[in-house]
Amino acid sequence: MSLEFLIASGIAVLTAGGVYLALRGRTFQVVLGLTLLSYAVNLFLFAIGRLVVDRPPLFAKGVTDYADPLPQALVLTAIVITFGMTALVVILSLRSFLESGSDQVDGIADAVPGPGQDRA
């Protein structure tokens, strides 16, 4: 198996899992799906920076093949931004759950009451 096939397969699995979870009805699953999608995008950005093994990360005199540091810097920045956005979305979903009593994305409670809720 080649490295490109493994990277492409990893991106495909992360994307498929992210889309599946993002389309679910509960907020925590949506947050996990968006996180998986961001991981897939980060892996894609990293892969487009030419996957080179045993090469220096910067241009050096006499070296014709080097790894591009720009995609690595973009991925590092994206990881930090994703962490902050995920924390914000988790806090917003927790606030929504505490105000509505439901963790559904549309805010409509389940037909079966959850623990600690009275039956109507």
Tens digit of each residue's pLDDT (9 = 90 or more) over 14-50: 999 999 999 988 888 999 999 999 999 999 988 887 6
The first and second tokens of residue 109, run together, are: 């409670």
Q: Which residue has the higher pLDDT, 119 or 17?
A: 17
Return d(Cα 65, Cα 60) in angstroms, integer: 9
Closest Cα to residue 82, out of 35, 22, 117? 35
Q: How far out from the chain centre does Cα 17 lie?
A: 10
Return d(Cα 20, Cα 16) in angstroms, integer: 6
Predicted confidence (pLDDT) per residue in 89-99, tens digit: 999 989 988 88
Burial of 114 (0-12, 13-18, 19+ CB in 10 A): exposed
pTM across the whole model: 0.75
What distance separates the 2 farthest-apart alpha carbons in the chain? 77
Instruction: Please tell me the predicted confidence (pLDDT) of residue 80.
Output: 94
